[in-house]
Homo-oligomer: A and B are copies of this chain.
Amino acid sequence: MYELGVVYRNIVRTDAQLAHKLGVFGASTVHEALGRVGLMKTWMRPIYPGAQVSGTAVTVLLQPGDNWMLHVVAEQIRPGDIVVAACTTDNTDGFFGDLLATSFQARGARGLVIDGGCRDVKTLTEMRFPVWSRAISSKGTVKATLGSVNIPVVCAGALVHPGDVIVADDDGVVCVPRALAAATLEAAVKREANEGEKRAKLGSGVLGLDMYNMRGPLEKAGLRYID
């Protein structure tokens, strides 16, 4: 976060299987499994609905109005990665478009998470290259100032280290630290285990009040019913 003008080439990625499996649960379940932390701000929205991906983070720190480092990060992408692009300041410029997407896709990237703007969204949608961004903007960028690649970054309020797992879908983007990935997967599995049963009960008309035994605690907290 504090080192500019550097590219770390050797990063330790979370196991690919682990990263993949977390993605199956989606951002909301993974966020819960992680303890209700690690979520990016709600201004990060997918450019088209329905995408659900996970992958290992390669990170890039951009300068406002400058997408030079997106070309640098492209070389560091391996199949299964998701590029996470932060910026040294709030900026909505269109750092990323269809040409870069073609390159990222060719390198095996599963998507882009960028706390900045994105353009060519129609083409990106046709390519099915998912992007979560702060804005959509035609605004072009220059290539003049260095940032860094594969340093820790704060992206949309979440700390991301290279190699962490990114899980993104319509609900948002969550970052799972590499060291917590296995435990988070385990927690997610447990969490989902009885979801089907719960859903069936609730669907049959059983109330959460009863299913979760909330009536006692609510009464203790002082809840009063008035007819």
A residues near B (Cβ < 8 Å) are 1-10, 26-28, 31-32, 34-39, 41-42, 45, 48-50, 52, 63-66, 68, 71-72, 74-75, 88-94, 97-100, 102-103, 105-107, 117, 119-122, 125, 135-140, 142-146, 152, 154, 157-159, 169-172, 174, 177, 180, 195, 198-199, 202-205, 207-209, 212, 214, 217-218, 221-227
Chain copies in the assembled complex: 6
Q: Do A223 and B143 contact each other (CB < 8 Å), given the known contacts A171-B119, A208-B103? A: no
Q: Are B7 and A226 in contact (CB under 8 A)?
A: yes
Q: Are B218 and A68 in contact (CB under 8 A)?
A: yes
A174 and B35 alpha carbons, distance in the complex (Å)? 28
The winner among A4, A88, A209 for most chain B CB atoms within 10 A is A88
Q: Are A202 and B39 in contact (CB under 8 A)?
A: no
Ranked nearest first, the 8 interchain pairs of A and B with the lowest CB-CB distance are A64-B65, A144-B144, A71-B208, A28-B138, A103-B202, A64-B64, A36-B140, A31-B138
